[in-house]
Structure 1
Amino acid sequence: MQDILRKICKLQPMYSSTNTPEMQERGYLIRSKLAEELRVRLPSLQQAFDSIFDDLAVEGSDGIGRKTEAPWVRLFSKAMSPNPREGFYLVIHFAADGSTVFLTVGCGSTIWRGGDLRAVSDDELKARTSWARFVVQQRWKTLSPFEDEIVLGAKAPLPRTFEKATAFAKRIPASDLPNADLDQLLFSAAERLNEIYLAQREQRDVSPGDQDAASVVAIAKPLKARSGKQGFGLTAKERQAVDRQAMFMAMQYLKGLGYNCKDTSATQSFDVLATKADEEMMVEVKGTTSDLCNSVLMTKNEVDLHREHKGKTGLLIVSRIKLFRDSDTPSASDGEVEALLYWDIDDWVSEPMAFQVSRKFA
């Protein structure tokens, strides 16, 4: 593999957007030789992954039509990353001047929108990559040995987007390739990708509002939901365990502030009535296993209540709840409380997810 990587590095300074002899050779090395080197290693790399990720695959690209400054080869789970625009994957990048190989884990950096392939926003890429680093650091307490900055040095916009889509990287100068332990680095990167995949199975990268929205789409458009990439979601019992833990954490938090708490979730359009002296606050509680909490799903009655009683309501989001599935009765523990007391719902963006459309009767 080292020889193939060095040959690609030597061809990088000869870049042309047209299919010159040098670019033909580079394309063959990327799409055939290097990709095959990774495929040969799939049985050993599979050991870094949970058995549920038994659909590992490899693909390489040096451009569609016109050649790209930044060719790549990626290793991925077909279910978790059905195409380069979606999900996370292990990917090998090359500096434009051929000086460096980068062994990385990154995410899709483009999406189809309005019939065009477009880059996602920098803020969204930053959120995705930051979350992936958080997952890895939780498990290993460090990003080592993937602590290097990726700089491809390309002129075109898309390679610069690749840089922003990289969660973490190992920089290997071309001169160091003969002595680099590539198999060990590949295995370490695969272990970290597996950890990210496992976190995605728990939907830790999906805001609770988006999780619930996916369920609504699955009901309203079941064929569309099946055709796309599936989140693994929670069963009804698992959801109940998470909700119970969220209520427990929320009420403990409010009691710590001196409130008396009454569970009203079964009878009202809010979950907790919190009272203290002459103050009365209606609190909505949302619990999630996710690390990201930028949206929640609310019913029309809940939205109306927060608007009608603005200044007397609150939203408590309990995130990062740990879910245990080891028995027939799931359980949950821990969680981090974000308290938005005296919450102004109009500071957030409210979007209708679905409508109940009924016949008119005379």
Structure 2
Amino acid sequence: MNLDDYLKYVLDNYLTAKKQPIKGNSVAKTIRVIALKVIPAYILHSEKIVKGSVGQGNWAEVPWLAIMNESVTSSATQGYYIVYLFASDGSGVYLSLNQGYTYYTDEYKKKSPKAKVKIVSDYWRNNLVSLDDNKTFSIDPINLKSSNTGGLPEGYELGNICSKWYSLTELDNIDNTELISDLTKLNVIYDELVNKLEGDFAKKNESIIYEKMNNADETLIESTVVGNDSLPEVVSVPKNVRIRSDKKGAGQTSKVDHVAKHVEQVAIGKKGEEIVLKFEQERLKSDERLQNKVSEIKHVSKEKGDGDGYDIESFMVDENTNEIKPLYIEVKSTTSNLTTPFIMSKNEIDVSETYGESYVIYRLYIGEVKNKLYKIFNPFIRTDRIATQFKVWPK
């Protein structure tokens, strides 16, 4: 059985075999065992191994045949490898340069693993010279026709760096020599990637993600879904807020995922400002004195950046003089709870002192179902503060 025969065998027999118990199944055994014999030895070298999988204990929705460099990985759950991924409906197979998605879900858990694997996939698409020179492979997303959202098939789709699709019909008309030629070309790209890892895929991944996050773009931020978009309920300022100590006892350590924390904070901040912007538009519309000012509301941080010390410039009515005045709003958003202290920069504190009662903190809680908001006017005199950082230089 050559590679062409093997790929067609899996597509022709797998869906039927899945209706039977996996234990002792002849199709399952063939897929696992024959996988070791269909890849030419000159592709494998001394460091590469071949594995075929139909699942462990239960049938996999997407079976695969993988070629792995053992200096990087010997498991489809982590690292980088070449893999044939069979569509769950039996319509065809992808030849893919891929990476183990389970590594991201284990390493980052709920801290945006999908955003991180996308960063790494995009990085390699833009930094592999042999991929750029080779027009055989597509960098478009792959679709394994899975209905299992969040499962392993989605992980394979997210981990894909480049691929080539062979439909079942195309395989009937492709010579085995062409399949091996494509595999050889992808092997060159894989070898380039392995060399650029310098032996440690995890450190390289972390470096790629960290560098990207220091220059976070809109696509990445928007991929971090936070709470809901409903207008917030205005609540009273909480009383007796306690400051939790961040000090740890002797021997205690805390591993902080700074990249995930930064992504989350940026996403929360962006969403919070958009919610408050809509809140202000509705607030002004509901006040006859301010209705004609709605179109003049400015999203300052979006238009000019953070240098002005506030995010939104809106309007308020001075209840003593009935005069319409600017209202300078700094949005402080959280998904924790409204009693959580927030951070203000020195610039924000200075600006709040300058504007006094025309400067307000909108402390926004973004919940899964309901959002809440409280306001602190003139926070320079109505908040307590402690220093959390120090500028340090040698004596």
> Normalized against structure 1, the TM-score is what?
0.49
Query: Which has more radius of gyration?
Result: 2
Task: Name the structure where strand makes up a greater proportion of residues.
Answer: 1
